[in-house]
Chain A
Amino acid sequence: MWSGKNLKFRILLLTEALIILVLFCLCLGKEELQCIYYGENMAESVIDPAGTHLDTDPVSLGAGVYRVHVETCMEEEENLGIYVANGRGYTNTLKANAVTILAGNDAMDFDFFLTDKAYEVYLGIDYGNTTLDHIQEISIWKTRGGNRIALFFAVLFSVGIDLVFLFGKRCREGRVSLPKQVAVVSLCALAVLQFLPYCNDTMIFDVDVPYHLLRIESLANAIRTGEAFPYRITSYWLDGHGYASSLFYCDFFLMLPALLRVIGFPIMTAYKMFLFVVMAATGVIAYVSFRRCVKNEYAALLGTAVYVLAPYRFNNIFIRGAVGEYLAMTFIPLVFCGFYLLCTEDVNSGNYKRCKWWIVFGMSAILECHLLTTEMVALCLAVFCVICVKRVLRRQTFVQLAEATGIVLLWNCWFYVPMLYMMNADTYKLQQIIGKNLSHGMELASSLVIWQNGKQVVSNDGVYGREPYSIGVAILLFILCWLLIGFRRKEIIDRTGIVLAAACVVTNLLNSNYFPWGLVQKIPGVGMIVSSMQFPFRWLGISVAFGAAFVAYASAKIIKTGSFNGKLGLVALLLMSLVGTSYQLSQVTLTDNETQLYTAANMGTISLILGEYLVTDELDMAFSYHDPVVEEPLTWYDYEKHGTDITLTVENPSEQTCRLELPLQGYLGYQAVDTQGNLIPIAKERGAHGDLTLEIAPGYAGTIHVTYAGVPIFRAAEWVTVLSILGTAGYGIYQSKGRRRMRKDENHV
């Protein structure tokens, strides 16, 4: 028992457990104050009165995650610049960015990271736009983030090493088939290959990336400060005004990078780690889905490869930073696989009822990632229902599809019901955007470009210099070859293959500027939904999924025939895909991949892209940290703001109702209650840039607490989701127990 390789493995496990235990103990404990600087002292030590810059006394700090706490009392229009620098120490030890502190943000924290000991860490303070007297204190704290990061990596590496050890052992013992070995290794390789441009200390900070990083940071901030869950409006945005991004754009999957931020990772690292998980998950999900459909490991792998290596996907990931879209692409194969199985599996088999779960999980995940992709996938499913009407109208199939739809609707109630309610109840910038025409239709030739650009070089329409809007020329070429060969060899061509190929080509054509989107938009009822897509090129995500499914399906057929030329063709397809990918990734790596973002506070809080979820009619971005604004003679004091919660005491000595504007974006659902439990009315007419405004009655004096309570329908929707998930889980457990009991009885008989 305690001999040979088992003993080695147990020693390994024991060592890992000990290391993890020690690191866990190190995580316990409080933050430690390293140094503190007072504004008064700094002002006294200034030699040149005309100076605008000051460096603090250097301190020696060990490796770890640090928090700088700055307290100021600046007046309007003032601001303060602070950066962390290292005078002496090892190269590239300090990971930090400069931060600008705005007036009104009286207590601010930002973090910096040391990967090794630094001997002379100091703060550079640019006070040209304020005075040193307005700085109250600056303190540096050592957090437990560094220990938590070490623990996280220890757990990750331990699990990784154990898995590799076990996998290698099982392979050498012949307990894992060769195709499975190839699949595991290839999926790992694909994940690493996709991540290539980000295997460095930089990132591309362009297009939508700042917005999504702010989404992550706002979630992390909400977790840290204990804002009400599920998050609808997070307070980090818009200089503390809060933004309803979580309400309209589901943040479910972004909780992962947000948690990494809470552990202590820099924002860039958290995002990259999340990205790697998504890349790996996309490969695994695509492979599992395709293998379930085509029942051939190599064909499924080929389909997976062309899917994850599609130029448009890399465009979404690295250039557009379309987090929602590339996340949704992770789950599209699940939905199509589910539909395929429902249409092709034997309806009388015991496993038939399980097929709907592919659709349930797939659609739920897509809905929680990206609404526009949900629309497109649902539309595709509807079209497929029409194409396969005979099969869909079979009683069992129809029931399963209806069940799947019902479960998806119930499970995701918590998100879409509040979203739809709020969308109908108020007006947002989003409605103005939806009304616009679809733009950015691509030249058809861009689908056939092998050597794709890293980023957009010129903004004019055309092929040269554009971002890579292509599903990959390898897929289109493969469809063409398959059709040509299929005319001669009928055994490789069938209806499913034709449908998939046609779906791929048609959705690809929808992306082109030849498709009359303008006319489609004029169709009553359809126009609104179509307009919400913004860009026709979003159809490429669907097209890639169809293309990959086709490649997997057709490859399985070709492999089945055993033709050497056919196999050689598949290898050529893979190589073409790989070469195109390596070129594109090289371009991405060498072009504009230079931002080093560690300190999240460096981003500010107002990267909204188009500000879709702002309640203001016009894009008024003049946000600032400010105190409540009141009409004379209303007065306020004892003002406290924590997240979206505000407490203040007001006095209205006048005989007329006075308006009190609070630094919160005035979404529906805020509630103002005083200490006696009386509701304070919220004005319909909002304040400057949509600020929440209270109407204070004549002669009123009291303490008011304002908080975001949402609408009762939100709670109802949340309960529906919880109960439906519990219900389906309970029903599943009950059924599996029943099946086990039946099997036992059969064995007994």
Chain B
Amino acid sequence: MRLSGMNRKQFDQGIFYIVVIWLLASLPVFSKGFAAGDGWIMALLLLLINAFTVGTSFLACSRICQNPGSSAIGVAIYVLSVYRFDRCFIERDVRELVFMAVLPLLFYALCEIRAGKGMVPVLLLGVCCLGLALTDVGCWEVAFVTLVLTAVIAFFLTGNVRALLKTGIALGVGAVAGALLCLLRMRDLENISLIQGKGLSVSGILVEFWKIKSKIPGMEEEELYRNPEGIGLFVLAGLVCFLVLWFLGHIQFADGAQKIAGAAAITAAFTLMLTLKSFPWDRLQFLNGMTYRMVGAIKTPAAFLTPVLFGCALAWCSLLENCRKKKDHWIYPVCVAVAVIAVIASGIYVMDVNNFTVDYYEMFQMQSGIGLEE
């Protein structure tokens, strides 16, 4: 593993960053109300999933940039994102959280395949795809689209046919398994709905300082308190900067494996379009019965925000790594500052707002005696 390639100091730093980010991401779990009653099982589960997500994303990010600090920033952008926060603490969607934890492993496997590391990464890719297909068909579809896109773009960037074939084999196995599960699980059309109307707007995606959906009865649907489904302005700024600098010839990749960051960035830009209201999901979904089920299984186009976020995280890592190498330049501290702001502005802010909202609700509940179900 790449982590083992780090020197002792870097390894220690990496572990320190992982722990800090894990604690930050799990902060709401430690609130008094969270673990009350049977909530401790969910709390424990979320702690575990968070730890796993932080670990896998650090593994993938450190494959792109050797510096543990830059990798940690990438991890923080992914793990502390508002969208993940929403899935983790507001919706508590364990299936999507598992997908978020596994996705970095898939990218890591892609990097290793591109670096020619034998069959282990191919196996890893196949197993992860199977696992995802078993967990949730919608997540598996999102992962499949993301990986196919990334692998094809990476092929165009590197021209590595062998890597493409290996990826194809692994994805093929996953695809067959997923398709079978699709057929078995989605016979019933009643639970499948059109997803076009659940698409996001660009403004919403780029909101940096989110508000939280109110828990006060009667105010849940207030526009002021929407669920945070977005990636934030600064995170996207990193992706755009990376793509522009790459286009203008200012970004260099050390090896073929690192070009996965470039491929992931392009994939992120594309998948971002899939999340929008303006993407013609209806057209796809109405093609035939199969596509109706397949597209309906995604549930909401916002599901594609996960690969977008991880693509952005990898782009940030690559951007930071490139800036760091230009030692005389002061652009590196600027990038670090922007990335830290991105995390503080979106993830930490929304966490704080959530705490306030919860407190307010509790206070309201105490004063009025209104229960949750009311």
CA distance A316 to B76 in the complex (A): 36
CA distance A90 to B201 in the complex (A): 17
Query: Please, which residues of chain A bring their CB within 8 A of the CB of B210?
Result: 586, 590
Say which one of A151-159, A191-199, A222-230, A396-404 lies at the interface with B.
A191-199
* B224 and A589 contacting across the interface, CB-CB below 8 Å: no
A675 interfacial contact with B, CB 8 Å: no
B188-208 toward A: CB 8 Å interface, digit per residue (1/0)?
A: 000000101100011110111
CA distance A567 to B333 in the complex (A): 11
B42 interfacial contact with A, CB 8 Å: no
A489 interfacial contact with B, CB 8 Å: no
B223 interfacial contact with A, CB 8 Å: yes
B237-274 toward A: CB 8 Å interface, digit per residue (1/0)?
A: 10010001001110000000000000000000000000
* A575 and B338 contacting across the interface, CB-CB below 8 Å: yes
* B330 and A201 contacting across the interface, CB-CB below 8 Å: no
Chain B CB within 10 Å, residue with most, of A172, A189, A579: A579
Name the interface residues of A549-606: CB closer than 8 Å to any CB of B: 564, 567-568, 571, 575, 578-579, 582-583, 585-587, 589-591, 593-594
* B334 and A583 contacting across the interface, CB-CB below 8 Å: no
* B237 and A189 contacting across the interface, CB-CB below 8 Å: yes
- Known: A91-B194, A575-B337. Contact between A589 and B207, CB under 8 A? yes
CB distance from A584 to the nearest CB of B (A): 9
Say which one of B14-22, B172-180, B275-283, B361-369 lies at the interface with A.
B275-283
* A200 and B209 contacting across the interface, CB-CB below 8 Å: no
* Contact for A200 among B203, B224, B337, B345, CB less than 8 A: B203
CA distance A586 to B82 in the complex (A): 13
* Contact for A590 among B196, B207, B247, CB less than 8 A: B207
B90 interfacial contact with A, CB 8 Å: no
Chain B residue total in the interface (Cβ 8 A): 36
CA distance A91 to B301 in the complex (A): 14
CB distance from A465 to the nearest CB of B (A): 14
B233 interfacial contact with A, CB 8 Å: yes
* B233 and A196 contacting across the interface, CB-CB below 8 Å: yes
* A168 and B202 contacting across the interface, CB-CB below 8 Å: no
B95 interfacial contact with A, CB 8 Å: no
Query: Please, which residues of chain B bring their CB within 8 A of the CB of A181?
Result: 248
Query: Please, which residues of chain A bring their CB within 8 A of the CB of B202?
Result: 196, 199-200
Query: Please, which residues of chain B bring their CB within 8 A of the CB of A90?
Result: 196, 280, 282-283, 286
Query: Please, which residues of chain A bring their CB within 8 A of the CB of B92?
Result: none
* A590 and B226 contacting across the interface, CB-CB below 8 Å: yes
A523 interfacial contact with B, CB 8 Å: no
Name the interface residues of A186-218: CB closer than 8 Å to any CB of B: 189, 193, 196-202
CA distance A571 to B283 in the complex (A): 46
B211 interfacial contact with A, CB 8 Å: yes
B99 interfacial contact with A, CB 8 Å: no
CA distance A568 to B282 in the complex (A): 50
CA distance A35 to B338 in the complex (A): 57
CA distance A208 to B294 in the complex (A): 47
* A200 and B201 contacting across the interface, CB-CB below 8 Å: yes
- Known: A91-B282, A575-B337. Contact between A582 and B234, CB under 8 A? yes
Query: Please, which residues of chain B bring their CB within 8 A of the CB of A196?
Result: 202-203, 206, 233
* B224 and A590 contacting across the interface, CB-CB below 8 Å: yes
Chain B, residue nearest A93 (CB) = B282
B334-363 toward A: CB 8 Å interface, digit per residue (1/0)?
A: 100110010001000000000000000000
Chain A CB within 10 Å, residue with most, of B244, B248, B277: B248
- Known: A168-B248, A587-B209. Contact between A571 and B333, CB under 8 A? yes
Query: Please, which residues of chain A bring their CB within 8 A of the CB of B237?
Result: 189
CB distance from B313 to the nearest CB of A (A): 19
Chain A, residue nearest B206 (CB) = A196
CB distance from B343 to the nearest CB of A (A): 12
- Known: A564-B330, A589-B204. Contact between A575 and B197, CB under 8 A? no
CB distance from A164 to the nearest CB of B (A): 8
CA distance A583 to B206 in the complex (A): 11
* Contact for B248 among A171, A571, A575, A593, CB less than 8 A: A171
CB distance from A176 to the nearest CB of B (A): 9
CB distance from A577 to the nearest CB of B (A): 12
A747 interfacial contact with B, CB 8 Å: no
- Known: A590-B211, A590-B224, A594-B223. Contact between A199 and B333, CB under 8 A? no
Chain A CB within 10 Å, residue with most, of B197, B201, B207, B224: B207
* Contact for A199 among B203, B211, B247, B341, CB less than 8 A: B203
- Known: A579-B345, A582-B234. Contact between A172 and B209, CB under 8 A? no
Name the interface residues of A131-148: CB closer than 8 Å to any CB of B: none
Query: Please, which residues of chain B bring their CB within 8 A of the CB of A168?
Result: 247-248
CA distance A39 to B265 in the complex (A): 58
- Known: A90-B283, A567-B330. Contact between A172 and B277, CB under 8 A? no
* A586 and B207 contacting across the interface, CB-CB below 8 Å: yes
Query: Please, which residues of chain B bring their CB within 8 A of the CB of A199?
Result: 201-203, 206
* B208 and A590 contacting across the interface, CB-CB below 8 Å: no
CA distance A168 to B337 in the complex (A): 28
CA distance A497 to B5 in the complex (A): 53
Chain B, residue nearest A192 (CB) = B240
A92 interfacial contact with B, CB 8 Å: yes
Query: Please, which residues of chain B bring their CB within 8 A of the CB of A593?
Result: 203
Query: Please, which residues of chain A bring their CB within 8 A of the CB of B211?
Result: 590
A160-186 toward B: CB 8 Å interface, digit per residue (1/0)?
A: 000000001001100000000100010
Chain B, residue nearest A567 (CB) = B330
* B208 and A583 contacting across the interface, CB-CB below 8 Å: yes
* B345 and A590 contacting across the interface, CB-CB below 8 Å: no
Chain B CB within 10 Å, residue with most, of A198, A568, A590, A594: A590
CA distance A92 to B338 in the complex (A): 36
* A579 and B196 contacting across the interface, CB-CB below 8 Å: no
Query: Please, which residues of chain A bring their CB within 8 A of the CB of B334?
Result: 571, 575
CA distance A586 to B280 in the complex (A): 27
* B224 and A91 contacting across the interface, CB-CB below 8 Å: no
Chain B, residue nearest A582 (CB) = B208
Query: Please, which residues of chain A bring their CB within 8 A of the CB of B240?
Result: 189
* A197 and B203 contacting across the interface, CB-CB below 8 Å: yes
CB distance from B323 to the nearest CB of A (A): 13
CA distance A26 to B99 in the complex (A): 48
Q: Tell me the B residues contacting A by CB distance below 8 Å.
A: 194, 196-197, 201-204, 206-211, 223-224, 226, 233-234, 237, 240, 244, 247-249, 277, 280, 282-283, 286, 330, 333-334, 337-338, 341, 345
17 contacts between A and B (CB under 8 A): A90-B280, A181-B248, A185-B248, A193-B233, A199-B202, A200-B201, A200-B203, A201-B201, A202-B201, A568-B330, A571-B333, A571-B334, A578-B341, A582-B234, A585-B233, A587-B209, A590-B224
Of all A-B residue pairs in the complex, the 6 with the closest CB atoms, nearest first, are: A199-B202, A200-B201, A91-B196, A90-B282, A582-B208, A586-B209
**Other contacts beyond A201-B201, A567-B330: 19, CB < 8 A:** A90-B280, A116-B283, A168-B247, A172-B249, A200-B201, A200-B202, A200-B203, A200-B204, A201-B277, A202-B201, A575-B341, A578-B338, A582-B208, A582-B209, A582-B233, A582-B234, A586-B210, A590-B224, A590-B226
